[in-house]
Structure 1
Amino acid sequence: MRVAVVIPVYNEARWVRAAVERLLATPAPAPPGGAPCERTIILVDDGSTDGTTEIVEAMGTEGLTTPVHHGVNCGKGAALRTGFQRALDLGADIVLVHDADLEYDPADHAAALAPILDGRADAVVGSRFIGQTHRVLYYWHYIANKVITTFCGMVTNLNLSDVECCTKAFTAEALRKMTLTENRFGIEIEMIARVARARLSDPGADSPKAPHAMPPRVRRARVYEVAVSYSGRTYEEGKKITWQDGAAALWCIVKHGLL
């Protein structure tokens, strides 16, 4: 089983190597009773200007990661789309999103991937609000996230608690069914909306008695939510998301959920 960890990176020279080393120090997840997954770390440098590009390239040369570079800053969504395509090109069976800023703990990856590895899920969304420890920061960020999550749930009919959580994982089949277009933070909403609408093959529905002329059965994607820990940054520490991104997220709910 091949797992690709896609990490979008923009001006994270202070953190990116530590983030990768922390990930490499964490054992690769394994399916029940199986060997650890083959793990590839794909770093997508999104036009950084602070020395991140050189660090990413150096880690690629050292054989630690697979580096991909954007010549100019295109946004988190564009970086993820580039990373997803690279992961699929490399033959990944599962693709997991992780951040480069140490806000999320790679020790949570095993629990995050467990529903996919044991065959229960096609997609997993992390939640910072259902049990794990998290650093307490901005009240209005929390309120904005709850508003966005509520509206997203109304249009997708998915009962999630934290749609803006970075930790998301998809099977290769589910990811191929998700035609993603957002270039910036709206990608978080678009991923939820696309997977909610995805229709996947249903091999379990096949029957040896069924006529060969019958069309293949399809089903909705099975989405699970798992708890993740969170140590958020302040703006002084490098946090990038703003109120404009919250407003854009609401528009993305309308665009991808209703239109």
Structure 2
Amino acid sequence: MSFNKLSIIVPAYNEGRTIHLILDKIKEVDLVNNINKEVIIVNDHSTDDTEAAIHRYIAANPELDIKYYFHEVNKGKGAALHTGISKATGEYLIIQDADLEYDPQEYNHILKPVVSGFADVVYGSRFMGGRPHRILFFWHTIGNKFLTTLSNACTNLNLTDMETCYKLFNTKIIQSLTLREKRFGFEPEVTTKISRVPKIRIYEVGISYYGRTYEEGKKIGWKDGFRAIYCILKYGMFGAQ
């Protein structure tokens, strides 16, 4: 299957130190089949110099297709993704965190089931395959696997990493969903709702993971885990729309 453009959605909050680094990595990627890249950055009302860093980068790289949006109040990662999804014009879109935990050089690896004509949605799993993984938090890993198992029980999928950042979607399909969660509840909500799309074809591929410590800027915490459980039950077990 061939298509023309991949939209790369980058939610950003207080990533002024590293936003240029991830944008450089995105710029360096040559997508398979000469697919074009559209980068959509959504600044969720950062309080550091994220906005200035983005404007400097755009000015220094006029050849790149970068669209920039700013939230007047902090709404959460999910809300930033809602904005990015609504603005995407590529036939497919992928989510890319502004930190350096995930490697854009793996886009073609994630795209393979799509360009081969097999998939509408591809999740990049940190828990399968032989790619590099930084060793960090035991309980964080256990929590991720618990949330994935609970989500699978509600969706009847067999994912290994529901909470992964790298999710690739057919743009028209995800734009047709009504997504409500404004923070880290986005992951279980979108997984549940995408699983209900008739004849949806969902694939999973192994990816590398260069995780950050909390001192290095990691933002998700135990409260987000409880919210994820709530969302899995709300949208999965109880079928909320």
Relative to the length of structure 2, the TM-score reads: 0.93
Q: Which amino acid aligns with 1:223?
A: I
Is 1:79 the counterpart of 2:72? The answer is no
Q: Is the 8 A contact 1:116 1:171 kept in 2?
A: no
Alignment correspondent of 2:100: 102
Alignment correspondent of 2:26: 23
Q: Which amino acid aligns with 1:172?
A: T
Alignment correspondent of 1:192: 191
Alignment correspondent of 1:202: none
Quote the Cα distance in structure 2 between the aligned partners of 1:195 and 1:251.
18
Is 1:5 the counterpart of 2:4? The answer is no
Alignment correspondent of 1:125: 123
CA offset digits 1:106-131 (Å, max 9, x no partner): 11110111111222111011100102
Is 1:167 the counterpart of 2:166? The answer is yes
- Of stretches 65-74 and 140-149 in structure 1, the one that deviates more from structure 2 is 65-74
SS at match of 1:248: helix
Q: Which amino acid aligns with 2:12?
A: V
Is 1:251 the counterpart of 2:230? The answer is yes
Deviation >3 Å, runs of 4+:
none
- Report how far residue 23 of structure 1 moved: 1.2
Q: Which amino acid aligns with 1:197?
A: R
Alignment correspondent of 2:203: 224
- Report how far residue 174 of structure 1 moved: 1.8
Structure whose alpha-carbon radius of gyration is higher: 1
Q: Which amino acid aligns with 2:36?
A: E
CA offset digits 1:72-121 (Å, max 9, x no partner): 2110000000000010xxx3100100111110001111011111122211
Q: Is the 8 A contact 2:86 2:175 kept in 1?
A: no
CA offset digits 1:198-246 (Å, max 9, x no partner): 13xxxxxxxxxxxxxxxxxxxx210000111001000000000000000
Quote the Cα distance in structure 2 between the aligned partners of 1:221 and 1:154.
18
Quote the Cα distance in structure 2 between the aligned partners of 1:161 and 1:60.
36
Q: Which amino acid aligns with 2:152?
A: G
Q: Which amino acid aligns with 1:84?
A: I
Alignment correspondent of 1:208: none
Quote the Cα distance in structure 2 between the aligned partners of 1:251 and 1:72.
25
Alignment correspondent of 2:91: 93
CA offset digits 1:132-184 (Å, max 9, x no partner): 21000000000100110000000001100011110001012321232111100
- Report how far residue 258 of structure 1 moved: 2.0
**Count of aligned residue pairs for this structure pair:** 231
Identical positions, percent: 42
Is 1:52 the counterpart of 2:50? The answer is yes
Q: Which amino acid aligns with 1:13?
A: G
Which runs of 5 or more residues in structure 1 are unaligned?
200-219
Backbone CA RMSD of aligned residues: 1.1
Alignment correspondent of 1:209: none
Q: Is the 8 A contact 2:184 2:228 kept in 1?
A: yes
- Report how far residue 27 of structure 1 moved: 1.1
Q: Which amino acid aligns with 2:150?
A: F
SS at match of 1:41: strand
